[in-house]
């Protein structure tokens, strides 16, 4: 048999919503992803295997063709670019918003602002488009801490319920983008395995309709 196609999944919150979607499309890992330390999983479909990795690594695997397809948040695609990738399907899962946020009642003086975020490219583009000079400070987590410690004035972060912001004395300000998880496909793989991949896209599109 031919080598199976490989789909790279984003671990964590997105994985929790991806697995039921895959199951609706008849794709289930042959062992429990949560209790296994493995990184590669065979599935109920002999022609498809799954790898489970960090979201930021998913476009890298797919871009280089190490994985043929992937599931990744739109935030990652906006931040790191979607070059070399097709994005044929909005899976409609892990919906959230990418927003600016600041301490409750914060009023900027206008022309210059310090912004802490892990989405440095998105933040630079957003503030530049507003004509505001942003000193962007790259962080890898706990963005809400930065204004409290006077490392930054504002943050750019993912907001779902807003509870994390509220718990830290902050409020959402401007919406930068609505986010959901996307199916991405390696461009060369789309050509060389068109029927198999298009078949998967169609099945996932049908499964998405019910979510
Ligand atoms: P919340 O308190 O519900 O607004 O959730 C905010 C935090 O949860 C953010 O700091 C994110 O890191 C994380 N989060 C919420 N939704 C998502 C999502 N769809 N994808 C990735 N991270 C998320």
Q: Give per-residue pLDDT as tens, 143-201.
A: 999 999 999 999 999 999 999 999 999 999 999 999 999 999 999 999 999 999 999 99
- Under the banding of pLDDT at 50, 70 and 90, the label for residue 211 is very low
Going from the Cα of 137 to the center of ligand 1, the distance in angstroms, rounded, reads 20
What residues does CATH 3.40.190.10 cover in the chain?
Answer: 5-94+180-208, 96-177
Identify the architecture of domain 5-94+180-208 in CATH.
Answer: 3-Layer(aba) Sandwich (3.40)
| pLDDT over 90 at 107, yes or no | no
Ligand 1 and 139: CB distance under 6 A: no
What mean pLDDT value characterizes the chain? 95
Going from the Cα of 158 to the center of ligand 1, the distance in angstroms, rounded, reads 5
Ligand 1 and 16: CB distance under 6 A: no
- Could you give the angle at which helices 13-24 and 194-209 cross, rounded to 10 degrees? 100
CB 155 within 8 Å of CB 146: yes
Going from the Cα of 140 to the center of ligand 1, the distance in angstroms, rounded, reads 14
Going from the Cα of 14 to the center of ligand 1, the distance in angstroms, rounded, reads 10
Ligand 1 atom closest to Cα of residue 163? 2
- The SS3 assignment for 209 reads helix
- Under the banding of pLDDT at 50, 70 and 90, the label for residue 1 is low
Task: Return the structure tokens found at 115.
Answer: 């912004």
CATH 3.40.190.10 is held by the domain 96-177: yes
Ligand 1 and 13: CB distance under 6 A: yes
Ligand 1 atom closest to Cα of residue 166? 2
Q: Which residues contact 161 (CB under 8 A, 6 or more apart)?
A: none
Ligand 1 and 56: CB distance under 6 A: no
Ligand 1 and 172: CB distance under 6 A: no
The total of other beta-carbon atoms located within 10 Å of residue 161's CB is 8
Considering the entire predicted model, what is its pTM? 0.94
Ligand 1 and 163: CB distance under 6 A: yes
């Amino acid at each position: 048999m031919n080598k199976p196609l490989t789909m790279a999944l984003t671990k964590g919150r997105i994985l929790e919503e991806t697995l039921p979607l895959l199951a609706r499309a008849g794709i289930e890992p042959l062992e429990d992803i949560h209790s296994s330390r493995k990184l590669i999983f065979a599935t109920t479909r002999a022609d498809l295997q799954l790898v489970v990795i960090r979201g930021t690594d998913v476009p890298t695997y797919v871009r280089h063709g190490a994985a043929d397809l992937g599931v990744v948040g739109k935030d990652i695609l906006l931040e790191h670019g979607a070059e070399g990738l097709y994005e044929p399907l909005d899976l409609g899962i892990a919906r959230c918003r990418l927003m600016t946020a600041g301490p409750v009642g914060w009023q900027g003086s206008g022309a210059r602002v310090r912004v802490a975020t892990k989405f440095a490219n998105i933040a630079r583009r957003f503030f530049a488009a507003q004509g505001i000079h942003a000193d962007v400070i790259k962080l890898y987590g706990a963005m809400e801490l930065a204004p409290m410690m006077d490392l930054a004035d504002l943050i750019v972060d993912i907001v779902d319920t807003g509870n994390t912001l509220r718990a830290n004395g902050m409020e959402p300000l401007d919406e930068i983008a609505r986010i959901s998880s996307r199916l991405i496909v390696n461009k060369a793989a789309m050509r060389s395995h068109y029927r198999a991949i298009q078949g998967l896209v169609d099945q996932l599109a049908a499964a998405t309709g019910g979510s």
